[in-house]
Structure formats: C-alpha cells, structure tokens
Structure 1
Amino acid sequence: MKYSIGVDIGGSHVSCSMYEHSNICLIDNTFTYRKVDSKGTASDILDTWALAILETVEKSFYSIEGIGIAMPGPFDYYNGISKLVDLDKLSSLYEVNIREALAERLPFEASQIRFINDASAFSIGESIAGEGKNYSKAIAITLGTGLGASFLENSYPIMDRDNVPQGGFLYNQKHGDKLADDVFSTRGLIAYYYEISGDKVSNVRELYEKAQFDTTALKCFQWFGDELGKFLESYVRDFGAEVLIIGGNISKAYDCFGECLQSRLPGLKIYVSELGEHAAILGSALLLDDHYYHNIQPTLKLM
C-alpha cells in the first residue's frame, strides 16, 4: 500500500488527510482542519500549516511518501514559490519558497512536497473519485469568492490548447463588459441583488435563506444560473465537454439556479460536487504518484 497526504490551502483555513493510492480513497480519522490568520506573518501562517499536517501524520500508522498541496494562485507550482501579492489573503508569503519553508518544519525532504493549483486539484479529485470519473472530458468550476475553473481530459488538466482558454482559466475572461470573476462570485451575486432590490446581504447563505420566501432573491439566483450558462456555452462546445462539475460555497444554492443553468446547456451532464473540499485533498495527494506527477509536470509549469 502507498500513502501520501493531501492538503487544501484556503485563504482562511488549511485542511488535510491521508490518501491511499491503490484504492483511491482518504483514510478515515486522519482529517485535520485548522483556521489560518490570512493576514498573519509568513512564519505564523507556515507554522499553522505545518501543525495541521503534523496532526494528520500523528493520526496515521503508515509510512508516508510525501505531501501534495493544493494552493490558490498566483503561485509557481513547479518550484513551490508563492506569488500571492496585493490580495486580502496570505500576502506575507510573497516570494517565499513554500517547499523549503515547510521542509524545515516537517519530517519530509523538500523533494517530497509537491504543489498544484487548487481548482485543478478539485477537478482531478472529482475525476478520479467523484462524478467525473465516468467521463473523459470534463470542466470543473468552483463558485465562491472567485471563479475557479479547470478543463480535464482523462484526469489531466488541459491548459495550452486552441479549444481551451489560456491556462484553463475562466476568471479573467470577459462576460459582457465585466470580468467573469466579478460576476460569477459571491460579490457578483450580492451586487446584483442590491441592484434589483436596493437591499444588502452579507453573504450567499443569507441570500439563499431569503430566496426561500423572497421572489427577488430567487430571481437573483435564477439570473446567476442563466448568465453562467450563457458564459459557459462556447467553452463547453469548443472543448467538447461531457460533464460540468460545480463546487464552492455558491454550489450549495444549486436548487435555486440549477434549472436556469441547465436550460442554457442542454444535453450536458451537470453535477454538484459531493466530495466538497475532499476533492482538492484527493487531487493534491495524487501528486505523490510518480507516474502521474511525471506526466503532469509540464502542465504545472503553465499554471
């Protein structure tokens, strides 16, 4: 049996778990979650990450091959160097070699620590253990503070092809006169609700609760689904996607926008992730499969 640790880094949290490669599954009772001060010093953030990983190590009785880490961008995934800057999260890590910094804090060599984009990790996890495993061509998106996206063929992210946007990114594409990231995100939903109602809500959960009795709030989600479908139409067609997998906090409101989204994408299978954050952990842990890592290394340089 071969085991590794998958890690999902968020702006305000870190979560990790042990992964067993032959059965493509996470090991029960090894999951660890810790909150992170995203505005803390580099040392404080790295210490918190290391403590979470060590907690998972201590829960295991197995020999561990290494660690795969799903990181938000911008990030140099091949070399393990953070490029996060001028953001409201983790900015103190700018230009820090995360691979070396974690190796100093953990019982692993730097070569045993590997990185991948968080949206790509989510999509890979869904393609090997979720609803995407029965399809060769998939698009996975995460809807939350921003729009994450990944185009996959046979469980490998596609980032440099004529029928895929550069880098496989959608957040920086235009929808009308706005960036997609400003429309298909928490701030986009909240801004549209304010535009049509004059009322303010603080988050998507509050808006979703209002939608159970407030037709204006429901209309906001329906608008979101319809516009998202319009936006994705050409990408789905050009890539030849067989399935669309949706994750992120906004996906929890799928019952309010899914019908409108599906009507814009007839014939396409659409699933809401059941793996949740575990998908990114699965996708990052797979990096310790040397055959998979060898094949994906050229792609990591493009992320």
Structure 2
Amino acid sequence: MEKIVLGVDIGGSHITAALIDLEKKKEISKTRFRARLNAHASAAEIIGAWALTIENAMGRYAGMPAWISIAMPGPMDYKNGICLIKDQDKYESLYKVNIKEKLAQRLNFPAAKISFRNDAVCFLQGEIFSGSIKGLDKAIGLTLGTGLGTAHMIDGKAFDSDLWKMPFLKGIAEDYISTRWFVTRFEELAEVKIKDVKDLVENHRDSPYFRSIFIEFSMNLAKFIYKFVRKKMPLAAVIGGNIAQAEAFFLDDTRKYLAQMMGYSFPIKRSTLGEKATLIGAGSCL
C-alpha cells in the first residue's frame, strides 16, 4: 500500500480525488470522484464537502492509502496546511483555518500523512512524471482557471513561480488571465453576464463578441508567457485548467502572437493528462 496514495485537486469551483498507483504512474480505475463546490460557503460546509469526496474515492479501494496529497491554490502555508486565501472571491471563510487538522479529524486520518502542495506545481509535476513534457529537463506550466497558477521545473522537480500577482498591463497577471477576466470583459462588451468560459463557449458562440474576446485573451496570454519565458528560459510550456478546455478558440493564436514576440516558434503544449495531471502530480510530489 506504500505505493498507493490519494491525490486531491481543489480548485475555486470543484474538488476531484482519486487513488494513484505511483509504481504504475497512473490513476487507479473507478476511484475518481469529482464534486462542484460553493467557494463562498462556511468553513464547515466546504471542509465537509471536501471530506465527503475524499471518503468516496478512498471507499472504492481495499485498505487505506499511505498518504493524502492535496493540490490547492495559494496563497497558503502549505507546510502546516493553513489557508491564506484572501480577497480573491473564493474561500473567504477558510482564511487562517488549519485545513490539515480539520480534515484529519473529519477523516480519522493522521494529520502527519496529509500534505498540501501548490496546484500549479502539482500540475507541472504530473506532466513531468507521465505527461506531455516527460523527458524535458526545463519547462514551465500554467493552470488557467478561476485563478492563474504558474510553475517551473528545476532538475525534474516542479516549483511555484508565484507569478499570478506579477505586475501586468494595468493590474496584475491574474486580472487578465482567469475566468474572472472573461466574465468581466464579456459583460463589458456584450452587456451579458456569463458564469464562466464553459458557459461562454456553450451558449454565446453566436455573439458578435465571441471571437474578439478570445483574440484579446490570446494576446494577453502570449504577452504573459513571453515574460515568463524571459524569466525562466524553458524549452517548452504546458497549459492546463478549465480555460484550457477551450483551447480551440485561443491556443493557435497564442502561439502565433508569441512567435511574433520571440522571433521563433516556442512550443506551447496542451496537457495530455488533463485533470489527471494535478492528481498524479499531487501523489508524486511526496
């Protein structure tokens, strides 16, 4: 059982959990559970929803995992399991809560065997471990979703680049590369409120602003990746997260704009593992 760990991916609107076989470098079949979350609920409700998803995943396999490794957005005291997210329109009730202790009590699982890692780090680590950049010795990773996650690789290990708050255009990078930007910008252009990028793609493709908003996003993303590349000098970038599921509407343009800035074609790869990348990465980060 030492090779069986539980990987957990917590985002701004969801939680996914699955058992990971580290020896085989893959998710154990039929152990994945996913649930949508209300990131504005009370701390007890949120932690209860997380615990239920984790219990469902563990309940599909005989025995207990050796470890629970949780990928979660920052800011956070990852070592001690204390949430420090503030003023980000999510998880307000968890500010300064020791999530590690609360989950350990709820799951009746040793706190010493529950660890937290930055979600972008876990995503990149998963892609290094068994995904689209396996074999590369220098790469960067971006998770595009409720927030912006960034990570870079050193000697085969992923580290948090913490560039979501980097000064960018008229604010910080996350202001322009996140679900929040799509929601705000589309409302400015079309005077229509959307829920997220999935809603935009599924219900507003006939809008005269549909193409223009993705072109603008492509340019913003290319500018950001250009700055990221200049900082870390990687051989390739890999992207994941909920927004990446709409890659058909922005990724080719992003590559084109970035090539114009750099003077050559820089590889931007789409995650081959999808959601599994963060789960596998969380497990392999031990």
Query: The TM-score by the shorter chain falls in which range?
Result: 0.7 to 0.9
Q: Are positions 1:228 and 2:221 aligned together?
A: yes
Structure 2 match to 1:179: 172
| Helix, strand or coil at the partner of 1:132 | coil
Letter of the 2:216 counterpart? W
Mark the runs of 5 or more structure 1 residues left unpaired by the alignment.
160-167, 289-303
Distance (whole Å) between structure 2 residues aligned to residue 34 and residue 172 of structure 1: 28
Deviation track 1:149-204 (CA, whole Å, cap 9, x = no partner) reads: 11122442345xxxxxxxx1222112222221111122323444455x44424032
Distance (whole Å) between structure 1 residues aligned to residue 228 and residue 10 of structure 2: 28
What is the TM-score when the length of structure 2 is the normalising length? Answer: 0.88
Structure 1 match to 2:192: 200
Q: Are positions 1:254 and 2:239 aligned together?
A: no
Distance (whole Å) between structure 2 residues aligned to residue 118 and residue 231 of structure 1: 19
Structure 2 match to 1:294: none
Structure 1 match to 2:236: 243
What is the identity percentage for the equivalent residue pairs of Structure 1 and Structure 2? 35
What is the TM-score when the length of structure 1 is the normalising length? Answer: 0.83
Q: Is the 8 A contact 1:114 1:287 kept in 2?
A: no
Letter of the 2:233 counterpart? G
Q: Is the 8 A contact 1:221 1:256 kept in 2?
A: yes
Structure 2 match to 1:134: 135
Q: Is the 8 A contact 2:190 2:209 kept in 1?
A: no
| Helix, strand or coil at the partner of 2:12 | coil
Q: Is the 8 A contact 1:211 1:218 kept in 2?
A: no
Q: Is the 8 A contact 1:186 1:204 kept in 2?
A: yes
Q: Is the 8 A contact 2:125 2:285 kept in 1?
A: no
Structure 2 match to 1:273: 271
Structure 1 residues 43, 219: closer, same or farther in 2, change over 3 A?
closer
Structure 2 match to 1:299: none
> What RMSD, in angstroms, separates the aligned Cα atoms of the two structures?
2.2
| Helix, strand or coil at the partner of 1:133 | coil
Distance (whole Å) between structure 1 residues aligned to residue 82 and residue 201 of structure 2: 38
Letter of the 1:84 counterpart? I
Distance (whole Å) between structure 2 residues aligned to residue 169 and residue 124 of structure 1: 15
**C-alpha displacement at 1:63, in angstroms?**
4.6
How does 1:1-303 map onto structure 2 within 5 Å?
2-159=3-160, 168-195=161-188, 197-202=189-194, 203-209=196-202, 212-214=205-207, 216-266=209-259, 267-288=265-286
Distance (whole Å) between structure 2 residues aligned to residue 209 and residue 59 of structure 1: 33
Structure 1 residues 201, 272: closer, same or farther in 2, change over 3 A?
farther
Distance (whole Å) between structure 2 residues aligned to residue 102 and residue 207 of structure 1: 35
Distance (whole Å) between structure 2 residues aligned to residue 192 and residue 96 of structure 1: 33
Structure 1 residues 90, 230: closer, same or farther in 2, change over 3 A?
closer
Mark the runs of 5 or more structure 2 residues left unpaired by the alignment.
260-264
**C-alpha displacement at 1:249, in angstroms?**
2.1
**C-alpha displacement at 1:224, in angstroms?**
1.4
**C-alpha displacement at 1:213, in angstroms?**
4.6
Distance (whole Å) between structure 1 residues aligned to residue 88 and residue 258 of structure 2: 34
Q: Is the 8 A contact 1:210 1:217 kept in 2?
A: no
The number of residue pairs the alignment matches comes to: 279
